[in-house]
């Protein structure tokens, strides 16, 4: 009987070690695939960003050649500052409304 219990112990121990190794290998493979996917997505995003910037530069150059100067050259700094101030005010208003909404939701 002692021999049978000892044998069962070693079988259980070997099973646990094998399951641990299998889980470790599976985890390593999954992490490898996640890393590959992340790298592919970053590369796709980089390419997409480059394409968008290239299109924007082409459109800007086409507009500049039509108008004979730089795009937006007639915008003075006071108008630009006013636009920035208006955007900041709108952001502050949206934040206040969002805070109020969150407080009433709870």
Where are the domains positioned within the chain? 1-74, 75-106
Task: Give the mean model confidence (pLDDT) for residues 62-91.
Answer: 79
Residue 73 has pLDDT above 60, yes or no: no
Higher-scoring residue by pLDDT: 81, 17: 17
Chain centroid offset of residue 58 CA: 27
Q: What would the two tokens of residue 9 be?
A: 């112990």
pTM: 0.46
Q: Are 71 and 63 in contact (CB under 8 A)?
A: yes
46 closest CA partner among 36, 38, 35:
38
Is residue 14 pLDDT above 60, yes or no? yes
Alpha helices in 1-106 (DSSP H): 2-67, 77-105
- Whether 70 shows a pLDDT value over 60: the answer reads no
Q: Is 7 a residue whose pLDDT tops 70?
A: yes
Percent of the chain with pLDDT over 90: 69
Task: Please give the Cα distance from 10 to 87 (Å, whole number).
Answer: 71
């Amino acid at each position: 009987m002692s021999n049978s219990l000892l044998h069962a112990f070693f079988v259980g121990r070997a099973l646990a070690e094998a399951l641990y190794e299998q889980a470790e290998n599976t985890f390593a493979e999954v992490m490898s695939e996640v890393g590959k996917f992340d790298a592919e997505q970053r590369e796709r995003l980089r390419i997409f960003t480059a394409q968008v910037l290239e299109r924007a530069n082409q459109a800007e150059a086409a507009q500049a050649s039509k108008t004979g100067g730089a795009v937006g050259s007639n915008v003075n700094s006071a108008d630009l500052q006013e636009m920035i101030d208006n955007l900041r005010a709108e952001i502050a208003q949206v934040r206040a409304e969002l805070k109020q909404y969150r407080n009433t939701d709870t």
